[in-house]
Structure 1
Amino acid sequence: LPRRGADTPSLAAKRGKIARFYLAHASRANNWDLVDLSAPYIIGRWLLYPDADGKLPDRGILDTLASHSDLWHQRIGIVATLALIRQGQTADTLRIATRLLDHRHDLIHKATGWMLREVGKKDPGCLLEYLESHFRDMPRTALRYAIERLPEPQRLYWLKRQ
């Protein structure tokens, strides 16, 4: 990925090839640490830059991943948004988090809460607005992860409301 100088069609093609390979073999990322250490840097960063044709990749891939029947694909869908959050782009994270609110597995609750917490680091008001709309539907683990960095009075406020 480009760190110095301009992005080139060659770099874009390589980035796309790596992302497609990763997606084709996503079932091999079959534990939380593999997902968490790869998804933001491969899928998330891929979504930030234009492909070789000059168009941005379709972020609908995040919805596809989040809707997949496999837990690890779902986690890739939410954790990949970390790269977007770091660039101040939170809409995809909020959309995927909402999609995963009723998930049954705590590994998804933890990942969703983590990404919401990261949203709060970039834009505290955005996190609070999201919580106001969704805290009643959030699994307790996701809520706890999301509010972890808030001042104690705010954390207690959200925990008592749920």
Structure 2
Amino acid sequence: MASMALTTAKDVRARLEELASPEELAKVRKRLAPDEPAIGLRMKALFDTAKEAAGMPLGEVEALLDDPAYEPRLAAFCILDFKARKSLGSEELCEVYLRRHDRITTWDMVDRAAPRVVGGAVAGGPYDVLHELAKSSDPLRRRSAISAPLFFTQAGSTADLAEGFALAALLHDDPEPVVTNSVGIFLAYAGGRDRAELLRFLGEHGPSMPRPALRLAARKLPPAERQGVLAPSR
């Protein structure tokens, strides 16, 4: 029997609870804050549920964002991402993401939605919203600032990519690993578009980047260039 379409926040919450298990809850709890409620299910099951609910109204997505538990909110950001794949550049989806950013409590919520939902909307400029996020006192907002430009590495213009490098320069020595690791990830993919600019960037900023972020940034370079970037003198 085919499953019923998931069109409300209540439907999604019920499906997530059906898929939960004590074993998965124990795994999820290890990577969440002690006081963050969780349901406990495999990520693939969560993503499949979100995909099935991709057609739900935005008002119901926002109702999911109101849920105190981790998984319904992650599902909501996954749904925003699925919607953005069909409506790339949607200002409405970007507005929801930014307005409800306070419901983001983990880095994976950022990574699931920021590239297409925010990056897709600001591609071509203006980029003011990314700079506002980069200046935030909230590390997860700063992660959004550098995760959104991942979209530029795949589908952005030369100007978009340059803006991503500029944001990486602003955040390359951020005190929070949740930010600098994302800087490294952006740089690795940006180097696929412009390796010369990546090497220039790392020559200037590499010495002041945290080592984990630097390793992430250099991971797609040819071995000789990667070894040069990661030389002990840095």
Normalising by structure 2, we get a TM-score of 0.58
Name the residue aligned to 1:102.
173
1:60 pairs, out of 112, 115, 128, with: 128
Name the residue aligned to 2:74.
none
Kindly provide the CA deviation profile for residues 74-102 of structure 1, in whole angstroms up to 9, marking residues without a partner as x.
Answer: 10000000112212431111111111122
Alignment of 1:2-151 (within 5 A): 15-48=90-123, 58-86=126-154, 87-88=156-157, 89-151=160-222
Name the residue aligned to 2:7.
none
Distance 1:84 1:152 in 2: 25
Q: Partner of 2:183: helix, strand, or coil?
A: helix
User: Percent identity of the aligned residues?
Assistant: 29
Q: Partner of 1:90: helix, strand, or coil?
A: helix
Distance 2:168 2:134 in 1: 9
Q: Which has the higher contact order (CA 8 A, sep 6+)?
A: 1
Distance 1:76 1:158 in 2: 26
RMSD: 2.0
| Aligned AA (1:142) | A
Name the residue aligned to 2:47.
none
Of the structure 1 ranges 72-81 and 136-145, higher mean CA displacement relative to structure 2 is found in: 136-145
* Shift of residue 143, structure 1, vs aligned partner: 0.8
Distance change >3 Å, CA 15–CA 98, structure 1 → 2: same
Aligned residues: 147
* Shift of residue 2, structure 1, vs aligned partner: 8.1
Distance 1:2 1:77 in 2: 20
* Contact 2:190–2:198, Cα closer than 8 Å, also in 1: yes
